[in-house]
Amino acid sequence: MLSWLVRRGVVPAAGAQQLLAGVTLINRLGSGLFMTSSALFFTRAMGMSVSRVGVGLGTAALVGLLASVPVGHIADRRGARETYAITLAAEGLAMASLIFVHTFVAFVLVVCCVELAAAASEATRGPLVRGVAGAEPARFRAYLRAVVNFAVMLGAGLAAVAIQMDTRAAFVVLIIANAASFFVAAALVLKLPHLPPWPAPLQGGRWVALEDRPYIAVVVLNTVMSIQYGILLFALPLWIVGHTDAPRWMVGASVVMNTVMVVSLQVRASRHIASPRAAGAAMRRAGGAFLCGALLMGLASHASWLAAVSLVVAGVIVHSLGEIWHGSAGYELSYALAAPHAQGQYSGFFNMGNGIANAVAPPVLGALCISWGLLGWTVVGLVLALVGLLCPAVVLWSERAGGEGKIVLGETP
């Protein structure tokens, strides 16, 4: 599988970059298995009510945010490779524990552990990516994003087999496979070279990421922009099924179109987003694309069958272009505007914003896009476009206020 991705330019040809891409492939393949089947596992195999599952997962998502910055700080000071391996192993243990859960209290405790480990893992991954990114950091991060999308799509396809079987044993196999993916990924991470921490300056506070006001502004804008990920995964499926004449198979087709576009175009798009200012401009383009995509998808409710399908397809294509620009720009901003000695802290803080966006996207998009209809889609699109327009100025402020924080990825202390 990895060699196939190498031949198609989705994965680097050799070295530490290819190994980290392989780790990402294995890790996200397991995540794809779990993400697709988790709701059914909790409700059908574990017997939890939908409301209890929602409460448990919402609580876990909020608890998980607490780990991002502190564990990122540990990675900065103790070494990213070792910390990342430990967090992956912890995530595997927490995931495997799910098969022994039979009560609501135990369910909440275990999924909180899963989310804590996942947030810690994402925070420690940042400094590791920084260390092996080489001379073309934007390109390498685009490789990783393409790998993530391919792996999740493949995992979702494999999970469909267990979903069709609809037995506890089938769901348990998926949980065990996902847990195993974390342990395998942890073992492979230890084969990467050790990355010594950047020396911290003698002056300055410990939690520099939380004191960097321009960076906080960037994170806030990216958090709002990241609500767009919920459009294709949450709002559009409900919109297609309940408010348009488009066939239900368009739900799956939309996800496939989006994934194929991201895997095919992410690396190419990253070539032109290799600086904070280029990233700010890309965020502006992304906001415009999200506005156009939202309007096209919203208009599908007032169209005939064929026109609805055409509008949804056009909306997904335009939205996917925005997602590609936003993904590359977000990666560039999260790393390039961070202080080199606190990359884990900054990475953890940036990922906190993504976690908040994931938590608020369903209720916000449900209230606007589904309840308000075309007006709601328009409001969402306008908000995302406004965020995109604000990004270049905020990025320029961050560059001017913290020039010493700009880094060249791949350098070592």
Least confident of 6-20, 86-100, 119-133, 188-202: 6-20
Least confident of 25-34, 97-106, 279-288, 367-376: 25-34
pLDDT > 90? residue 294: yes
Phi-psi region of 331 (alpha: psi -120 to 50; beta: other; left: phi over 0): alpha
| pLDDT of 413 | 38
Q: What does the pLDDT look like over 111-156, one tens digit per residue?
A: 899 888 888 888 788 778 777 776 666 678 778 878 888 888 888 7
For domain 2-189, is the CATH number 3.40.1280.10?
A: no
Q: What does the pLDDT look like over 187-228, one tens digit per residue?
A: 999 998 877 766 665 555 667 778 889 999 999 999 999 999
H-state helical runs in 41-79: 50-64, 68-78
Higher-pLDDT residue of 251, 243: 243
Rounded CA separation 57/249 (Å): 28
pLDDT > 60? residue 2: no
DSSP class per residue in 344-385: HHHHHHHHHHHHHHHHHHHHHHIIIIIHHTHHHHHHHHHHHH
In the chain, CATH 1.20.1250.20 covers 2-189, 211-405
In the chain, % of residues over pLDDT 90: 33
pLDDT > 90? residue 51: no
pLDDT > 80? residue 180: yes
- Considering the chain, what is the average pLDDT of its residues? 84
Rounded CA separation 228/324 (Å): 12
- Residues in Cβ contact with 329 at an 8 Å cutoff, skipping those fewer than 6 apart: 273, 278, 279, 280, 282, 283, 286, 391
Rounded CA separation 140/131 (Å): 11
Higher-pLDDT residue of 48, 290: 290
- Residues in Cβ contact with 181 at an 8 Å cutoff, skipping those fewer than 6 apart: 26, 27, 29, 30, 31, 33, 92
Nearest-CA neighbor of 412 among 15, 23, 134? 134
Rounded CA separation 5/10 (Å): 5
* Under 8 Å between Cβ of 246 and 305: yes
* Under 8 Å between Cβ of 276 and 403: no
Cα-only R_g, the chain = 21
Indicate the fold that domain 211-405 takes in CATH.
Growth Hormone; Chain: A; (1.20.1250)
Rounded CA separation 116/107 (Å): 14
Rounded CA separation 10/182 (Å): 22
Number of residues that make up the chain: 413
